[in-house]
Homo-oligomer: A and B are copies of this chain.
């Protein structure tokens, strides 16, 4: 079990082979067993295999080829639409048009997604999370006909792997753990925690190819820039509002 988790690798090349229906069902059932706030299950999973839909999702996800290659794209949404409709049919007055409810649905959806990821990998499938879901939530909402009170929060690409990458490096155990209370980092601890990552051959190549001085600059200047983050922050907050989670109903 834990072996399975320990061997997780994001897969970015997929075979065209379909995922059998009974395996997909088993994986989703595993997802549904995840903890959920008050057992409200305030999430939905949209499973897209249609070629035209996948082409539009491919554009939303920055044209990453795996979105076209893999047979299934799973979009995980914070969903209060189902619950609110139920309340309205049961003489109950729902108060879920607010940020806390959005975040509650997002937590629900993300725990389900991780169960799905683990169950998929234990069935020999490969997965990759798409962070682009929040960047282009508006386009995804249009493509997948997502109604009010529903916001996509993450996406899993799912299929049989056509590559076998090595494990990705991680920061040392001690760098992400705090005992009893948070112990802030000194310059010395930061240096020691990032040393291994910075000394990888892979890192050195990356710095050279990108003509940068440090690995951190690759993140701040190329991969996750201030301008992009600010633009996507505004867009995502706008989506959360438009979908009815900022008391604007």
Binding site for B on A (CB under 8 A): 1-2, 4-8, 10, 25-30, 32-35, 37-41, 43-50, 53, 77, 79, 81-83, 85-87, 89-96, 98-101, 103-104, 106-107, 110-111, 113-115, 117-119, 122-123, 127-129, 131, 134-135, 143-147, 150, 153-154, 167-171, 173, 175-182, 184-185, 187, 190-191, 193-194, 213-217, 219-221, 223-230, 232-233, 236-237, 247
Contact = CB atoms under 8 A, between A and B. Distances in A.
Report the 7 A-B pairs with minimum CB-CB distance, sorted nearest first: A95-B226, A92-B216, A90-B216, A114-B114, A90-B214, A1-B122, A98-B233
A79 B216 CA distance: 16
Contacts of A224: 38, 40, 95-96
B233 A32 contact: no
Given A99-B237, A216-B86, A181 B81 contact: no
A93 B220 contact: yes
Contacts of A34: 5, 8, 114
A88 B72 CA distance: 40
A226 B232 CA distance: 29
Contact of A180 (B25, B48, B128, B236): B48
B100 A134 contact: yes
Given A46-B181, A48-B181, A144-B182, A89 B131 contact: no
A218 B220 CA distance: 48
